[in-house]
Structures are given as structure tokens and as C-alpha cells.
Structure 1
Amino acid sequence: MIKESDLKDGISAIIPTYKGEKYINKLLDSLINQSIDFNLFEAIFIVNGELDSTPDIIKKYQTANPEVNIILTESEKGVCNARNKGIELASMKYSIFIDDDDFISENYFEELYKFVKPNRIVLGTFYDIDEDTGKVMDSYMTPQLLKNSGIIENPYKTIKDAIVITTNKIIPTINVKNSNFNPELTNGVDIAYYANFYPDNDFEFYVVDKSIGANYYRLWREGSISRQDMSYEFNIDNRLKVIENINKGLKKAKNQEMRSFIESLTGGQVVKINEYLNKYPKEYNNVLKDILEYDYEFFPYKYLNEDLSKLNNDERKLIISYAFSPTNTTTSNVVAKKILSDKKNVDIICASLDDMPKDFTLEKIVLEYIVNKFTVTSNFSTEWDNILNFVNEGMKLIKDYGEIYSRANFVHSHFLALEYKIKNPKTYWKAEFSDPLIYTFGNRHLSGKLTDEEYISRINKILKEKNLEPISSENDINCVCEYLTFIFADEIIFTNESQKDVMIDSLPFKVDIDEKYIISPHPTLDEKYYHIKKSNYSLDKNYVNFAYFGVIFPNRSFEDFINAFENISEKFKDKIRLHLFTPNRTLFEQLLTKDLLEKTTFNQNIDYLEFLNLSKKFDVLIAEDSYTKGHFIKNPYLPSKISDYKGSDTTIWAICEKNSEMSKLDIKYKSYINDLCGNTDTLNSIMCEKTNEEIEPFTIDEKEYNKQRTVHLTQKIAELIDVCESEFKKDEMYLAKINELTTRIQNLEKENSEILNSNSWKVTKNFRKIGKKFK
């Protein structure tokens, strides 16, 4: 391996050339007229690809200027191969890459060389030259270099554009020789190179002051790599290859500054992808599929197929969400979806909730929109002390915001937002409720009483000033949350109208929110988010594959699908496969009939982004309402997965409660809870569509079937009772054994105590001494 001591003082200029006869004289003239000592630089020309008169022109300059160290060689086709050849031949301590259609000012080498140091990169000033007029113009990176000089603080932001073009910088050769350009790339090679070069090194950057006039001139001409005609190969395939190389550099980043810098390098590639999609929008799905094949660690989905001018707002709102990514709950996922749908930068405050399941795939995507994330260290609990801790610690972390948004299932979010609103009354507060908070089925209270008299007293003083009803220790925590949020929030958001009616009906306080509530269903994400994480889940396309994601409980059973399956045409039964993604496997195993169980595949819950991708692969997605009759005046629930299912473009079968919010949605296949004939007809219709087969009319003996189903479930319940009783008997046996052992231990302890306190201990003393000698 080469050492720095093996290199000579000076600069190695590495210059690939391909059919450069039209332009290369300008560069050669600028080289032979350099003011630096000719012994301090070498110009290595590497001819690659198809030949023209370029080699002859270079040879003429060699002959006419023997004092200048001009080296002529060749490489395999491609600019990357040429630069790698030049790196191999470089013999001086510092190197610079120059393109064959560019040129440099006469003092360029001399002035830059004055500031070189090991581990330092030195840049000059950079200009473009119009090919037709010869006019000198600022390039997009020129302002960065004109505004800065000397050692640059935070170079990966301050002069980011200038440090990722291949040219206009002198670099220590020893570092260059440990790198190479990727010959598989035909464009975007500079971005790919520096994305991998900088993480391997720790450079200082120095910009020569513009007043010195050490200038690099780039000829901007038609037909250059950067100005190629639009095509799928150039705008999509080549861009994705460059992003793949950027991701390789990302894996080497040692700190967040470097990670952010390398991630930002993908932006220019996505701009070219978007240009193509704007012209050919029907190619969107093909592009998404090609992106998915790479399985990137990072891809800037935020910018894909978006109007970039509308992103990255300066004035940010604060989102308050007790649970948030990577914590994996429905609440945190919905908040993440809202951020991704709004497409605006935000700040967020949440709890760490280290004791809850995590989904880091979704977090990685939503973090693209989050500028500041404030985290309160806390494990999950719905006790008041935990809620109050989130409020108090949260208030220490957040400062000034013109707008805040909070969302509850978990009331911690609204209580913190309330505290902020009280302290900052001019702040606009949007508060969203996912479900009713006070009661669930059977009027079971969802929270305990609010017994914090100090908090009650403080809030009541404010309520008294507003001539509003006071709260008391007889009120549930969730009840107080609803009431105070309705009063103090500037905007109340419900997912559906029925939810609003139920919550107002169950609230034991009088409130008027008619002027400030809105209905906003859960958002459906853009198509691109269904292609981020590829699911390798295997499906046999010889069958019609149904999927159900989620849990079941007394008021949301799976009985309607089971009953429909048992009563469909026999020729369809063997063509159905059911896929369940649930933590309720044991419960499903008890409910499913023997025939259906044999056609069912059980799976654990999966990450949200994989769920989105997988939802596109099934033939039918099943959604089932909760049965709320007798519990609420209306059904206040709308299954959150419906919004995700809609974005999948997969057939949805919604099994609805009559007059529920889901029953009002525009879904092709809808049937109703406890409607055996209707559910069976719907399943038969689905199977006819998916198999292109027809069925003969038939009738169902509901009474006989229900009788058989009741017998089946009764047997299952009896089996479960037997299992439970068996387990209880085992527990009784174990308990008896433990009690027996405990009694024996107590008796032994008593006997030992009696021996120690008796003369027999003294009598046997000498015998015990003798016994020790024989051990």
C-alpha cells in the first residue's frame, strides 16, 4: 500500500477525455500557462472510449511544451474507469479532477496550493461558461463559494453543492487512492463517489477568497451528461442506481451530521425522477415497483412525485401525541399518517414508552417531516400520576407555537395541550378524538376518578371566570378530558358524525361545539407508501385469498364470515384461503369450523408499512363493524383500517352494523352483521367475480344451520371448560404440594431449634468433632 512519503510535492490533475477534440485546446492552454512552478504539477490525460483527434492534440502540446509534465494514457470505456486509472497513476501529494471541456485561471494551481494541508480539501471559485456566447455565468453553486472563504464551519450544509461536484477541489492524494469511482454508473458518478468518500475521511474544508480570482470554469454544453434527453433509463433506472450507491455511503456515516448530508444527496436524483413522472404520470406504479426492488435503507419518499415548492414550511405547528412512532399503536400510526398526508414540516412531543412494541420502519419515513422531536421519558400507564408527569415534563420541553394539534385515544395528549393552551391562550388548538373516551360496551367506565384536588381547584378557578360548570373528584379522568377539551380547544375533530353525537350524549356537562367541530375521517396515504417495505409473504394464486387484520372480541366477532363460508356453494369452499394477522390465534382456533380452519393460515401482527404493501396482494380484505346495539345511541366506531384498505385498491368486504358509518361508505361489497343469507350471498358474489364462475340458485335453512352452529360452539365451550378445570386441578395439586413442603420445612426448622436448645446438642458435640476428621 502506498504511503504519503512515496508521493512528491505538488498536484496531480486527473483528466478523463472522451472525444474532446472540440474543447480540449482551451484546457491545455490554461494548463501550460499556469503560474505555479511546472515541477509542482502533472496533468494526467486518460483517453477512454471511441477515439477522435484528441490524443494527437495532446501529443502536440507535449512536444511543444516539454517543461510541462503532460501524461497521456488510456483506459477502458467510461469516465469512471478513466478516473480510476488516473488515481492509480497520480504521483503527487494532492490531486484534482478536471473535465476535458473545462479550464482554469492561470493562477488556479498556485493559489489553491498555498492552502493545502493533509486532511484538508481546498476549493476555488466556480463559474459556468455559455458554450454559444462565451459569457461567464454564476452556476448554482457559485453563491456558496462567493459568500464563504477560509476554513468553513459546517461545510456539509454551508457549501454542500460545491463539495459534491467532482471538480474544483484539491484533495490529499493518499485519501483519493483509497477510493474509486463506480464503473457501473454512467451518470451521477460525482454524487455517488463523494457520498462514499466523505464518510471514510474527516476533512477540513477551505475556500480560497473570491478576490484572489482562482477560478474554475465549466463549459455548459448540449449533450453533456447532466442535460441528457428525458428517458426511463436516464431519469429512473440511472437515478435509482445512484441512490443505491448513496445508501452504501449512508451505512458508513459516523454521526448524524454526515447522515443528514448523505441523505440530502438523494434530492437531486428524485428531482429528475419527478420530471419524468410529471410528463409520464401513468408510469408511477412502474417506478414504485422498481424502487421497491432495491430495498433501500433510505429513500426520500417525502419528495417523490410532489411539488417541492409546497413542502418544508418555515412556520411549524406542534403535534402532541402521547404515543408516536416508533411506538406501534393505532393512535401513533394515525398521527404519522396525518403528518404524511399533510406534507408539512412539524415538531412533535411524545412519550418514550419503551415498554410498548416498536415499529421503526414507519418512524424512518415520518421523521422526514419532523424538525424537532421532544420525548418525555415514561413507560405506558393511564394512571393520573403518569398523565400529570407527561404534562409537567412536556411543558418544560416545548416553547412558542402559533398552532398545536393533539389526538386522543390516550388522554395524556389533550391534557398537555390544555395546559399549553391555558398558558398560551392565543395559540390555536386543534383537538382530535379517535373514539368516545368515557364509556365502552356495557357502560363500563374507561378511567378512574380524578382525585387530584389541587388540579381540580386550579381548573375550577378558570372555569368560574368563564361561568362554566366546575369539575369534581366524582368525575372520571376521561370525562374531564372530554369536557375541558370541548371548552378550550379552538377546533374539535371527530372521525365521523355518529362519534360526535355519542360523545356529546354521554357527557354529563352541557357544552356547545356546533361552531367549532369538523368531521375528518382517517387519511388514506399516497400510493407510494404502499411500496416502501416489500412483503415476501407467499400467496397461492390458485385460490381466492381473503385477509383479516386485527383482533376479535365479544362485540366484534368473526362469526359472520364463518357462517357465510359454511353456507356458500360447495364448489367455492375449496377455492378459498383465509389469512389471519392477529394475536388472537387461540380464540380464532376455537371459533373457526374444522373445514375453515384447514384453509386458514395464522400470522402474527406485522409492521405498518409491510401491512400496506401486503394489503395490495390479497384478493379480498375483510372489515367488520363492532356490534353496538343496546350500548350506544349510534355506532360511533369506524374501523381505522378501512382508510388503509381503500388505498390498496384491493376488493373490500365490509360486514356492517345497519346504519353504521361504515355502512354509508362507497364500498362494492357490503353485508350486515347477523344476516346469514345476506353474508352468504355476498361471499358467493365475490367468488363469482374472482373465479369467473356462476352458481345455481340455492336456499339456506337458517334454523337448522344455527342449531348446528350452536352445538358446535357449545362443544367448544365445554372443551374449554374441561381444559380450564384440568388446569385448575393441576394448580390445586401444585398448591397442595407446596403446602406440604412448607409444612415439612417448618417442622424441620422446629426440630433443629429444639436440638440446638437441648442437652443433646452438647452430648453429641464430641461425636461431631470426630465425624469432621473422617470427612
Structure 2
Amino acid sequence: MTVRKIVRRLGLRSSRPAPQRLVVSYLYPPTAETSAYVVAKRIRNWGIPVDVISSTGDTGREPDKAAGQIAGDLARRVIQVPGGRHDLNDWSIIEDFSTGGLAAFEQLQSDGRTYRELYSRSMMPGSHILAASIKQRHPDLHWIAEFSDPVRFNTRGEHRQAPLPYSAITAPLIASAQQAGYSVDPANGMFDLVEYAVYALADTIVFTNKQQRELMLNAVADPQLRESIVRRSKIWPHPIPDAALYNAVPSSHTTSAKPVNFAYFGVFFGARSAEDLTDAFGLLTKDERTRVHLDLYVDKPRRVRKAVREQGLADVVRVRPLVPYLEFLNLTTKYDWLIVTDARTDGVHALNPYVPSKLADYRGSGRPIWALVEPGSLLSQDETIERTPIGDVAAAAQFIRSQLN
């Protein structure tokens, strides 16, 4: 018999306060994805106990078991809804998560849980669909819905489209969206419904930065609907980890013996590329290259390593695979400079809505930050970091040289 059952049978009260907030996050540790880590950091920074409903869905990365330390005991119960391989455009995955998540919510209620607040975060879209379904059934819950990025539009500015089947999950959400004044096309409106369900039902709508909010609002044609969203909106920058997390998992990786060491951590895809970084190191003289080093921690090290060799940069650039999150935090404290790059959105979005979440992780390390920035982006306006224009290889090389003097 478990301790919980013994306590219940004897009529005893637990000394730990019961969670008043339920977190719905399709991605949550041990899933090794950015959004999973951000949600766990949110919980840690709130400092209040929560319950979590997440998915076991496979994203193709090894589980990060140590990441459970981020939220620690503040995550009282973590219920994982069984899921298969994740596909962003497959509604059936969202449907299964929502159906299983509603059953998990009912189980929590039957176990005596009562909540005042509901929090969800995209990515992934399924988080908001499940949360919206719970909100419809329990309208007294205060629903806080956070957007990490625009859902309806991708980094190339394209309108995401995927079929939206009629079901017991979608029908009431479509009705709520339409009642609020939003039009949903079942033929390709899956991602539209995710945003519109939040706009129609959430009590607090969270954006990570002001340009993201403005860009997403500009896609809402009706000024009254936009005003309704603004009234309920808040800006929550990405959470900065506390100092203890940077020492939780020491890394065995070391920096080079050269005087100045740079590091980049992340994924190169779409609007970000390795050449934005490596080309500048290619302009350094032979003597300069003996005094500086760049470590790239990336998700596809073999491909990036091949590109580095072809550029003739193996003596100055080392490629390593991504490391688990807490080890990454520890590594950030070892380098002289941490590099972050803007997503390229010129000619794609009217505003750059993206601020990399790793910027918050870098800030917590206390190390200097160098950003390759796009004009008009929030990174380009940040005077607490060093900045050079993205794509300006000469300016980047000059910045590197300035650190060698």
C-alpha cells in the first residue's frame, strides 16, 4: 500500500500544500525538447506546486532523465498520456493526447485534486487543444495560455495548413471559436483552431515578447477581437534558470587550451545556418586562429563536422553533439563568449517575432553574449549584449579579432 493510500485511509492530512495549478504541456521532461525545458523552468520559477499532464510522444531524441531536477518536487504528479512518434501536422496525435488528457484530468479529480488555474504552452499545438477542452468543461478554471512562437505561421512566413477532422474534440472548440467571431476552415484549419481556441477561451494570453504579440495580432482582422486579446495579454520573457541549476550536472567537456573560447549551442534549421558563424572564423589569419576557438554543440554533428572540414576550419572549429540540458547549463559557464543567432525573417515577416530561449539560459550563466542580429529584431535592440549584423562576415570577424587584443 502506498503512503498516499495509507494517509487517505487513516484520514490524515498531508503537510504538503495541494497544487492549485494544473500544467498541460505535450512536451515535458524527460522529453529532450526546448519547450519541455521552458515549462519546467516556469514551474521552478513560480515556486508553487503543480500537477502536470504531458505526453510520452517520441520526438526522436534520447530522454533527458536528469531534467526532472528542474521542477523537482514542485511537480507533484506528472501524468504522461501514451503517444507515438510526433508529427506536427497529424491531428490524430493531438486528438489522442486530448482524449487521454481528459481522462487523466478526470482521474486527478477523482483523486481529490481541485484546481484554480490551468496553464498550457505551445509548442506543441496539442497542449492548447487539451487545455481548451478542459476549460470548456470547467469554465471556472482561470486558463493561462502561452505561445512560444506564432502557431498559424512558420518561420518562413507560410500559413501552416493541415486538415481538421470533425470529432468530439474539435466540434465544441470550432463552435467556441466561431461564437467568439473566428472563422475556422475544416479543410486546412488545424493550426488556426489552436490559436483561435486560445483567443476565444483563455483568461490570460501570454506572449514571450512584444513583437511576437504584434505580429500575431496583425493576423487578426477584426479590431474588436484584437482589442480583446490585448486586454487579456501579458508578456513573459523566457525564464532564466537560477544559479543552482548551472552546477546540478557538471560536464566532462573542456574548452580548448587557446586563450579565447566561443561556444554555440543549438539546432541549425530553416532560418538559422552554421555558415552564419563559421564563415567569420574562416577570415582569420593563421596566427589569429592559434588564439581562438569555436565549439559548436549541434543536433546533427556529423553533417556540420563535414561542412567545417570542407571549409578548412577544423583547426579552429570543433563540432560536438548536443548535451542534456543541465549539462548544457554547466558548459555555458566555461566559455569566454556564448553565441546566439537571430532567425532570418527579412522579407518573410513584417516583424521578427523570435527571441531564442537559449538567450535566457546564457544570461543566467553570467558569461558575455555575442549575437548575430537582424535589423529591427529584439536581439538587435538589446544593449546588454554584443551584436554584429547577421550575414556580415567581415563585421563578425572583426569582433572576434577585437577579443584577441
TM-score normalized with structure 1 length: 0.47
Match of 1:237 in 2: none
Which amino acid letter does the alignment assign opposite residue 291 of structure 2? K
Indicate if the aligned counterparts of 1:436 and 1:499 stay in contact, CA closer than 8 A.
yes
Deviation at 1:648, TM superposition (A): 0.8
Q: Give the match's secondary structure for 2:245.
A: helix
Q: In the superposition, relative to structure 1, how do residues 662 and 454 fare at CA in structure 2: closer, same or farther (>3 Å)?
A: same
CA distance in 1, matches of 2:200, 2:372: 36
Q: Give the match's secondary structure for 1:618.
A: coil
Match of 2:11 in 1: none
Deviation at 1:324, TM superposition (A): 0.5
Which amino acid letter does the alignment assign opposite residue 145 of structure 2? A
Indicate if the aligned counterparts of 2:51 and 2:77 stay in contact, CA closer than 8 A.
yes
Deviation at 1:591, TM superposition (A): 5.4
CA distance in 1, matches of 2:188, 2:258: 57
TM-score normalized with structure 2 length: 0.87
Q: Give the match's secondary structure for 2:313.
A: helix
Counting only pairs closer than 5 Å after superposition, residues 278-427 of structure 1 correspond to structure 2 as 313-354=17-58, 356=60, 357-379=62-84, 380-382=86-88, 383-398=90-105, 399=109, 400-427=114-141
Deviation at 1:394, TM superposition (A): 1.0
Q: Give the match's secondary structure for 2:244.
A: helix
Indicate if the aligned counterparts of 2:308 and 2:314 stay in contact, CA closer than 8 A.
no
Indicate if the aligned counterparts of 1:483 and 1:509 stay in contact, CA closer than 8 A.
no
Deviation at 1:570, TM superposition (A): 5.2
Indicate if the aligned counterparts of 1:408 and 1:433 stay in contact, CA closer than 8 A.
yes
Q: In the superposition, relative to structure 1, how do residues 467 and 343 fare at CA in structure 2: closer, same or farther (>3 Å)?
A: closer
Counting only pairs closer than 5 Å after superposition, residues 540-551 of structure 1 correspond to structure 2 as 540-551=256-267
Q: Give the match's secondary structure for 2:197.
A: helix
CA distance in 1, matches of 2:289, 2:329: 27
Q: Give the match's secondary structure for 1:598.
A: coil
User: What percent identity do the matched residue pairs reach?
Assistant: 29
Structure 2: runs of 5 or more not aligned = 8-14
Output the aligned Cα RMSD. Answer: 2.5
Match of 2:147 in 1: 433
Matched, 1:629 2:382: no
Match of 1:671 in 2: 388
Question: Any idea what the Cα deviations from partners look like across 1:252-304, whole Å, max 9, x if unmatched?
Answer: xxxxxxxxxxxxxxxxxxxxxxxxxxxxxxxxxxxxxxxxxxxxxxxxxxxxx
Q: In the superposition, relative to structure 1, how do residues 418 and 345 fare at CA in structure 2: closer, same or farther (>3 Å)?
A: same
Which amino acid letter does the alignment assign opposite residue 410 of structure 1? M
Counting only pairs closer than 5 Å after superposition, residues 207-606 of structure 1 correspond to structure 2 as 313-354=17-58, 356=60, 357-379=62-84, 380-382=86-88, 383-398=90-105, 399=109, 400-452=114-166, 457-463=171-177, 466=179, 468-507=181-220, 511-512=225-226, 513-568=229-284, 571-585=287-301, 586-590=303-307, 594-606=311-323
Question: Any idea what the Cα deviations from partners look like across 1:582-635, whole Å, max 9, x if unmatched?
Answer: 133314532566442222222111110000011101111111111110100111
Q: Give the match's secondary structure for 2:273.
A: coil
CA distance in 2, matches of 1:346, 1:417: 15
Q: In the superposition, relative to structure 1, how do residues 484 and 365 fare at CA in structure 2: closer, same or farther (>3 Å)?
A: closer
CA distance in 2, matches of 1:444, 1:461: 26
Deviation at 1:559, TM superposition (A): 2.8
Which amino acid letter does the alignment assign opposite residue 524 of structure 1? I
Structure 1: runs of 5 or more not aligned = 1-152, 159-310, 689-775
The structure with the greater share of residues assigned to helix is 1
Question: Any idea what the Cα deviations from partners look like across 1:324-370, whole Å, max 9, x if unmatched?
Answer: 11011011011011111111111110011256431001114423211
Q: In the superposition, relative to structure 1, how do residues 667 and 484 fare at CA in structure 2: closer, same or farther (>3 Å)?
A: same
Q: In the superposition, relative to structure 1, how do residues 410 and 447 fare at CA in structure 2: closer, same or farther (>3 Å)?
A: farther
CA distance in 2, matches of 1:352, 1:554: 26
Counting only pairs closer than 5 Å after superposition, residues 72-151 of structure 1 correspond to structure 2 as none
Deviation at 1:426, TM superposition (A): 1.2
Residue correspondences, number: 382
Deviation at 1:455, TM superposition (A): 5.1
Which amino acid letter does the alignment assign opposite residue 274 of structure 2? F
Indicate if the aligned counterparts of 2:133 and 2:173 stay in contact, CA closer than 8 A.
no
Indicate if the aligned counterparts of 1:453 and 1:473 stay in contact, CA closer than 8 A.
no
For residue 612 of structure 1, the aligned residue among 324, 329, 343 is: 329
Indicate if the aligned counterparts of 1:545 and 1:578 stay in contact, CA closer than 8 A.
yes
CA distance in 1, matches of 2:221, 2:36: 29
Q: In the superposition, relative to structure 1, how do residues 531 and 461 fare at CA in structure 2: closer, same or farther (>3 Å)?
A: closer
